[in-house]
Structure 1
Amino acid sequence: GQFLAHLSKVDALAHVVRAFEDERVPHVEGSVDPDRDIGAMNLELAFSDLGIIERRLERLKDSLKGARQQERDTLLKEQNLLSRLKTSLEGDVPLREQELSEQEHKEIENFQFLTAKPMLLLLNIGENQIPQTGPLESEFGNRYKRRNCEVAALCGQIEMELAQLSDDDAREFRDSMGLSESGLDRAIRLSYSLLGLISFFTTASDEVKAWTIRHNTTAQKAAGKVHTDMERGFIRAEVVGFDDLVRCGTMAEARKQGVLHLEGKTYIVQDGDVVTVLFNV
């Protein structure tokens, strides 16, 4: 109960599923079966949500007995929505896959349902399985990848060893193993994608900061992430893509090459934008 209560406070779930064989590391169930373990966890999360829904439906039933007409309409609307969610959950359809309007999403937000949260399934594979990473991801992706659910495979043992190396040594090690990026970087990238998040950068003297915002955030709203005064007194933003800035070397050179551009309040900030906000308060 305490574990599930903790999960209810997070924005997304990452389920690390064992897919490697190693007699020195016994599985609690006695055998390695990723499908069984995924199914068991999904069932646990669904049972938690069903318990919340059933308790709320009981309270709604009692409240409806003495409710006035205006209050009754609101209670009936909630009852119908929760009953619909309950039916789908009992049919093995998690809330993240159910068709809900924007208003319905808001109405159930405070319940903090676990199956409504985006899910990242991480297959923990063995070193000998690394060459089969692609086929394994395709196989499990075909079974489990859905809306708001992503599947990826990584080798936890290799990632632990990489974390103890310098950046250069880690890069050389990854290259020798045929790994284009670290599992941690990939997990972060997929998590950002599931949550609909991007990063933009600001610079001040020799300091660079990254800021996390949602997709489709305007330049003015993004400025407010840095400081509320910037949003309130926003005039315009100087924007250059991260790759363009690295290629040019300096803001002055980026301006000279025409890759730094001026944007207004409604500009939609892109992932990796380097933004300088001009404001006046």
Structure 2
Amino acid sequence: MKVALIGPPLSGKTTVFKALTAGHSQTAKSQAGHVEIHRGVVKVPDPKVYKLAEMYQPKKVSEVEIEYFDLVGTLESEKKQEGEKTAILRESDELAVVCGLFQSSFEEGLASAQKEIEKVMEDLILLDYILVEKRLERMKKQSKGPATPQSKQEQNLLEKCLKALEKQVPCRKLEFAPEEEKLLRSYALLTVKPVLTILNLGEKEIPKTAEIEKKFEPFARQKDSLGIAACGEMELELSQLSESERADFMQDLGIEKPSSHRVATGSYQLMNLISFYTANQNEVRAWAIPKGYKAIQAAGTVHTDMEKGFIKAEVINIDRLFQLGSMHAAKEKGEVGLHGKEYPVQDGDVIFFRFNV
């Protein structure tokens, strides 16, 4: 899962990035060497994967990972010619806009944040508009003779997107048929991606975190976003403490969960993700997939061979497995379901795939 952080100058974006990655990140240049990128990988906290590991004693335990990117600078130069920054954004699964509320009262800060988000949304619409318009122009130049059904379908889809973008409507607001969605993925449109908003607070605003999020919620809902308020500077300091010291300071400050946990939860919600688990003596692992995925799609997430040779999926809910104590006991009680490839995977499923290659 890839999340790219964007935002205006002086929003504290890099501080938030360091807080989310607990200061463990790398700075590198893009492939062409023109753009500086900060990259950090964070494990999504999931106590259940470790409890499941206690049952199997595997060689390895793997949680879901989020890969955060912090791009230095703004998107202004990208409007003239799409470059490396936009390419990285298009590769991301989610965009996170950081807005600074620490330089004024939170009422003024919220008003300013709304303007900043409006500006970012306009930039994303413009970048998509440029991409779609260029693709349509290229198709018209390359067309020779009658259009094929495939090219006609693509042209209709692009024209549908272009009309929406001309009206400042993001493409996520449109309805697409399954075959259109598949084709649309190849363009990696920015206005299709979910957008999370991180409201970067000053330390004195920490006690008002819930109030600020509640006041921001109607605007966020209107923009298909979700707002999470946190003090990036304080969260960065907390991330550098030992676990026991962190817990004490968080209690004193009234912080229930670290921002990294809350942002991960927000990302799951915005991207409509669920978790399922696989387990054996080699590895116990948590996987993130879109809600509604079928068993065969979940199998392909684990390994393409499982998808190709899929036979059946043995499934049990992880909490029920914990209650019964072992997979052996679950099978004896007839609690393990045997499902075909069309089974809709549920949040918390432990799945054992039967396949043949």
- Give the TM-score taking structure 2 as reference length: 0.63
- Answer yes or no: is the 8 Å Cα contact 1:234–1:280 preserved in 2: yes
Map residues 68-147 of structure 1 onto 2, 5 A cutoff. Answer: 68-71=145-148, 78-146=154-222
1:123-143 residue CA offsets vs partner (Å, 9 max, x unmatched): 111222223223322332212
1:74-110 residue CA offsets vs partner (Å, 9 max, x unmatched): 6555444433422322322111122333333333332
- Answer yes or no: is the 8 Å Cα contact 2:98–2:197 preserved in 1: yes
User: 1:195 deviation in Å?
Assistant: 2.5
Structure 1 residues 254, 172: CA separation in 2 closer, same or farther (over 3 Å shift)?
farther
Which AA in structure 2 matches 1:250? G
Equivalent residue number for residue 183 of structure 1:
259
- Answer yes or no: is the 8 Å Cα contact 1:89–1:95 preserved in 2: yes
- For residues 203 and 334 of structure 2, the distance between their equivalents in structure 1, rounded to whole angstroms, comes to 43
Map residues 1-281 of structure 1 onto 2, 5 A cutoff. Answer: 1-21=83-103, 33-63=112-142, 67-71=144-148, 78-146=154-222, 148-205=224-281, 207-227=283-303, 232=309, 234-242=311-319, 244-245=320-321, 248=323, 250-251=325-326, 255=330, 260-265=335-340, 266-277=342-353
Structure 1 residues 201, 169: CA separation in 2 closer, same or farther (over 3 Å shift)?
farther
Structure 1 residues 258, 167: CA separation in 2 closer, same or farther (over 3 Å shift)?
farther
- Give the TM-score taking structure 1 as reference length: 0.77
User: 1:70 deviation in Å?
Assistant: 4.0
> Bigger relative contact order, structure 1 or 2, given CA contacts below 8 A and separation 6+?
2
Gaps of 5+ in 1: 23-31
Structure 1 residues 249, 18: CA separation in 2 closer, same or farther (over 3 Å shift)?
farther
* Shift >6 Å, 4+ stretches: 256-259
Q: SS of 1:8's equivalent?
A: helix
Gaps of 5+ in 2: 1-82, 105-110
